[in-house]
Structures are given as C-alpha cells and as structure tokens.
Amino acid sequence: MLIAEACTHAPLSEDIGRVKIPRMLKNKIGNDLKISIVAGRDFPNDLTPYDLVIHCGGCMFNRRHVLNRIEQARNQGVAITNYGIVIAYINKIIDKVVYPE
C-alpha cells in the first residue's frame, strides 16, 4: 500500500497520512500490512508494486496534477482512492458519503 501526500510539511506527531491512517489500517487489517509513504513530488513512476494508493486531497497541487496521478494509477491497474474514503470505510460510515451526480 502506498500513502501519498502532496505537501512536504514537517509531519506532526499525529499526522493523518503518516500516523493516523496507517494505524487505522493496521488495526483493521493487521500489523503485517506493508505501507510506504511518499510526499511532494516523490510519487513513484512504477505503482505496480502496490495494491492500493491512498492519496491526500492534493490541495498543494493543481487539479491537472492530481488527475495525472489518478490516470497513472489507472493505466498501471492500481486502485487509487483518497484519505476521506479510506477513513469513512474503516469507520463504517462509507454509506453516508455523498457521491457527485
């Protein structure tokens, strides 16, 4: 699994992408889960080693840049989602998520 953050901020002690989401995933799936974390422009060219990419909202990037990452994952057959959907799924509130029409 790859967790990708757009920004390169100094991580906080309870950083959502580096601490909270990995903890939630390991609690749900197990400690054997392998998670890699990248930030900023360190997004790998080859995503095939990963079963899933979990991306932040991308507020530090423009729309085109985020869409390019989504397209890259799709072209390589790797599932991609965002922090919010993962958190909603883990907390069993995914059915409350509103999808655009």
Residue 45's nearest CA partner among 101, 4, 15, 8 is: 4
Condensed to tens digits (0 to 9), the pLDDT of residues 12-53 reads: 778 899 999 999 999 999 999 999 999 998 999 999 999 999
pLDDT value for 27: 95
Count of beta carbons in the 10 Å neighbourhood of residue 18: 17
Band of pLDDT at residue 3, cut at 50, 70 and 90: very high
State the helix-helix crossing angle for 21-29 and 83-90, rounded to 10 degrees.
40
